[in-house]
Amino acid sequence: MASALIVIVAIVVILLTAWLFKQEKIRLHFDKLGGPASIPILGNVHQLKSDSYGITKQLYGFFKEFGCKRAFRILIGNHPMVFVCCPEEAEKLLNTTKHLDKSSDYQFMQPWIGTGLLVSTGNKWKSRRKLLTPTFHFKILNDFVEVFNKHSGTLVTKLRKSADGITEINIADDMTLCALDIICETAMGRNVNAQMNSDSDYVKAVHTVSVLTLARVRSPWLWPDFVFNLSKTGKEYAKCLRVLHGFTEKVIKERQTDFEKEIVDGTTVENLIERQNEEIDGKKKRLAFLDMLLCAKCDEKPLSFLDIREEVDTFMFEGHDTTAMASNWAIHLIGADSEVQKRVHQELDLIFGGSDRETTMDDLKEMKYLECCIKESLRLYPSVMLFGRSLTEDCTIADVCVPKGTTTLIVPAAMHMRDDLFPDPEKFNPDRFLPENCTKRHPYAFIPFSAGSRNCIGQRFAILEEKVILSSVFREFFVRSTQERDDLYPMMELILRPGNGIKVVLSPRC
């Protein structure tokens, strides 16, 4: 009996030693990339801050110290994460059909959005991308401008109540609720009146799920599903998911019923686009993203109910918080620079004169300086700080062979702050994005919407929406930002958000 126990102990010791040796070999190999000093077994876990603002500030410090010219690594235990911080290396990963798989960290979004366009891989991603591309046809986007105008008008009406030139307001939540109203109507054809009903269960669940997902990403002990599901965080997450999925499923079922009455069998997405704006029962029919999913076919088969739900949920996740935060950062930056704001007002006055008419697509094309402001805001505060990929084959990064399966993180937040790409990078200077100033810049130096074949399918939608929201605000008000940049406390949750809100004083322009 004793001898058997000795043998078992010996086997365990041998296996553990072999495992530790393997992990140490991995650590020493990835240490060639540079980065914060690592230790056996833990890697860099012991060094990382636990709060959103702390880890965000720490990452920016790492980008400046280790990523100024090349890639570097952080080790989460034995899980290496390679941060790519130069455009040449980013292009090698993004401008290829090889490394299309998202990193394993995206799996924590799957309970909400399934394996929709954001996280799907292989043939499913290729077929879905091809299927969904027509939904951003210019005719569809042109019609969405009407939705942007409607909800931006509601936003301006709310803001007028505090626009006395004295009262400081936190505009961040107002902008977010406006973007949520827009995405609900454009994605699902449903008006949730978030701006007038910010206490709705759906509105609160969208925010809470985002926060809890990031909490799980940062907590390795919550990675196993059975542990997460039993935890307090997991139970709250499940409760929110029931709200989100329940709402989406109800809308899909109702839209399906209406759709079957109005649309004949065999209707394609292209047919719907051609029928855009026709009247049904005396009312102009406006298409929603959901309508096109209901008639879409993949490999000659209609999408299943769950297929439709995961794509709608994906667009709900991707399409509101990203745009809201981009608009918030832009409001602060323009409001903090009187000369920039003066130029924005001059451009809008040239387009609209003294008219209070709604914005048209032609107007949006003329907002060239405002677009420069949006891009410069995205440079300083990209809504998504980094994009994850899982290498599908061995790849040389910064002269180090990085093996297949490794998580690589392409970091716009680091590239956008390199002084060799953007001189005086801390300065807010929209002129950087005038056409004559972009010609010599590396095409992958500015990638707030990622790049390559897996770039953001909705980036044109987002820019148009931001233009309508921001032009609506600046047509109506003078904006004075009351915070310094250091007071904003940027926090990398799923989206880069201002931890201290966006505080401004508004004054009527007329």
Tens digit of each residue's pLDDT (9 = 90 or more) over 144-184: 999 999 999 999 999 999 999 999 999 998 998 999 899 88
**What percent of the chain is predicted at pLDDT more than 70?**
93
Q: What DSSP string runs through 328-391? A: HHHHHHHHT-HHHHHHHHHHHHHHHTT--PPP-HHHHHH-HHHHHHHHHHHHHS-SS--EEEE-
What is the mean pLDDT of the segment spanning 202-208? 80
Say if CB 430 and CB 372 are below 8 A apart: yes
Predicted confidence (pLDDT) per residue in 387-413, tens digit? 888 888 888 888 889 898 888 999 999
Q: How far is it, in rounded angstroms, from Cα 469 to Cα 465?
A: 6
Asked if residue 251 lies in contact with residue 188, where contact means CB atoms within 8 angstroms, the answer is yes
Task: Round to whole Å and give the CA distance between 278 and 34.
Answer: 60
- pLDDT of residue 492 exceeding 60, the answer is yes
DSSP state of 266: T
Residues in the chain: 510
Query: What is the reported pLDDT for 282?
Result: 47
- pLDDT surpassing 60 at residue 194: yes
Instruction: Write the single-letter amino acid at 40.
Output: P
Confidence of residue 503 (pLDDT cuts 50, 70, 90): very high
Of residues 343 and 16, more confidence is placed in 343
pLDDT at 350 over 70: yes
Quick one: pLDDT at residue 99? Answer: 77
For 65, 147, 248, 313, the CA distances from 290, given in Å and listed in that order, are 46, 15, 10, 10
Give CA–CA dist 108/223, Å, rounded.
8
- Give the largest CA-CA distance in the chain: 95
Q: Average pLDDT in the 53-81 region?
A: 86
CB 119 within 8 A of CB 113: yes
- Give the whole-angstrom CA distance, residue 90 versus residue 88: 5
| Residue 276 host element (H or E) | none
- Looking at every residue in the chain, the average pLDDT score rounds to 86
Residue 264 has pLDDT above 60, yes or no: no
Question: Could you tell me where the beta strands, DSSP code E, fall in 384-454?
Answer: 387-390, 395-397, 400-402, 407-410
The CA distances from residue 481 to 352, 377, 485, 501, in Å, are 25, 14, 10, 11
The region of weakest confidence among 287-291, 356-360, 451-455 is 287-291
| Distance in angstroms (rounded) separating the CA atoms of residues 313 and 470 | 26
What pLDDT is stored for residue 263 in this prediction?
Answer: 59
What is the predicted pLDDT for the residue at 188? 84
Q: Place 262 in a pLDDT band, splitting at 50, 70 and 90.
A: low
Lowest-pLDDT range of 96-105, 307-316, 438-447: 96-105
How far CA 358 is from CA of 66, 156, 178, 370, 371, in Å, comes to 48, 12, 16, 17, 18
Identify the pLDDT of residue 104.
77
Average pLDDT over residues 71-90: 88
CB atoms within 10 A of CB 457: 18
CA dist 347 → 239, 334, 365, 371 (Å): 47, 14, 12, 11
Q: What percent of the chain has pLDDT over 90?
A: 39
User: What's the rounded mean pLDDT across residues 301-307?
Assistant: 84
| Range with lowest mean pLDDT among 82-91, 261-270, 303-312, 351-360 | 261-270
DSSP assignment of 136-195: G-HHHHHHHHHHHHHHHHHHHHHHHTT-SSS-EEE-HHHHHHHHHHHHHHHHHS----TT
Q: CB within 8 A of 154, min separation 6: which ones? A: 178, 181, 195, 196
- What pLDDT is recorded for position 290? 84
The answer to whether residue 470 scores a pLDDT higher than 60 is yes
- Look at residue 203 and tell me whether its pLDDT is greater than 80: no
pTM, two decimals, is 0.90
Q: What six digits make up the tokens of 380?
A: 């300083």
CA 50 – CA 409 distance, rounded (Å): 20
- pLDDT for res 172: 92
- pLDDT attached to residue 269: 52
pLDDT tens track for 87-110: 999 998 888 888 778 877 788 888
Burial group, residue 12, by CB count within 10 angstroms (0-12, 13-18, 19+): exposed
CATH second-level architecture of 1-96+385-447? 2-Layer Sandwich (3.30)
**Predicted local distance difference test score (pLDDT) of residue 283:** 52
pLDDT of residue 286: 66
